[in-house]
Amino acid sequence: MLQGRIALVTGASRGIGRGIAQELGMAGATVIVTGRSRDDTRTDGLPGTVENAAKLVTDAGGLGVPVFCDHAEDGDVEELARYVRETFARVDILVNNVWGGYEQYDHEMWQLPFWEQPIWRWDKMLETGVRAHYTTSRAIVPLMLEAESPLIINVSAGDNGKYLGDIQYDVAKNAVDRLGFALSKSLKKHGVTALTIHPGFTRTERVIDTAPKDALTDSHSPRFVGRAIVALANDPEVQKRSGGVYKVGQLGLDYDFQDVDGSQPKPFEIPDGYGE
């Protein structure tokens, strides 16, 4: 379905990014996967590397291309853009998925009042979230202007403007949503579609490692998010969604795709009063 398309998925060493990359590979795309984990250097000791993710893409039927990139480092992002320009000349699909806001995760610290939490948490949330999405878009968009149907998808989180339970997290994720909207307005005249998706509770490696098993009942796989990306990329009228924010569960209903186990995950909802 996506043969001949060039996709770039950031933060794809593991988790949602790897699931997205794998599904794009199954659709036949060439997928550039970026991340900081390679060989024996892995974020927080979690499994998965850019090389592993690229191999999954190739094994799935596409072509996986691993590129080490710390998206919080402007030099790395500039080098990524240079490599992509010289190797592929263009990008058709950009998935801004990179997110380091959960690094050094500590449940007890997360529950503290914000004035008792270390300021580095704010930096992690904003720098490896919205800023990384912005700098990557800034570097890659010039390579998308000649694509036939260029598409930018930001991966964020939320539920119709409800409070997300933590100030830093809430601000960072809402900023990513707004970035998608702003990109859609700025790039409309260039024919670039930009939108944002909200996965539900996803069984990433970190979630499986830290969440109680009974809490995973209403979760979905990372590949379910990837199927949403493929559906959007194949939609000839996707430009009508530009600037919007869409729950992955609802996209599953809209485009009639299921999770890898055949289930139909519901659109994610946050309980009223959460975090208050």
Domain holding 47: CATH number? 3.40.50.720
Residue 172 maps to a domain: yes
Q: Which helix (H) or strand (E) holds 67?
A: strand 63-68
State percent of the chain over pLDDT 70: 95
Q: Choose, from 169, 246, 255, 274, the residue flagged as catalytic.
A: 169
Structural domain range at position 52:
6-255
CA 81 to chain centre: 18
Question: Is position 206 within any domain?
Answer: yes
Quick: pLDDT tens for 119-155.
Answer: 999 998 899 889 999 999 999 999 999 899 999 999 9
The domain tally of the chain equals 1
- Asked if 102 is an active-site residue, the reply is no
Domain membership of residue 134 (yes or no) is: yes
Tell me whether residue 274 is in a domain.
no
pLDDT in tens, 10-67: 999 989 999 999 999 999 999 999 998 776 666 666 778 999 999 999 999 999 999 9
Q: Which residues of 34-53 are buried (b: 16+ CB within 10 A; e: fewer)?
A: bbbbbeeebbeeeebbbbbb
| pTM assigned to the model | 0.94
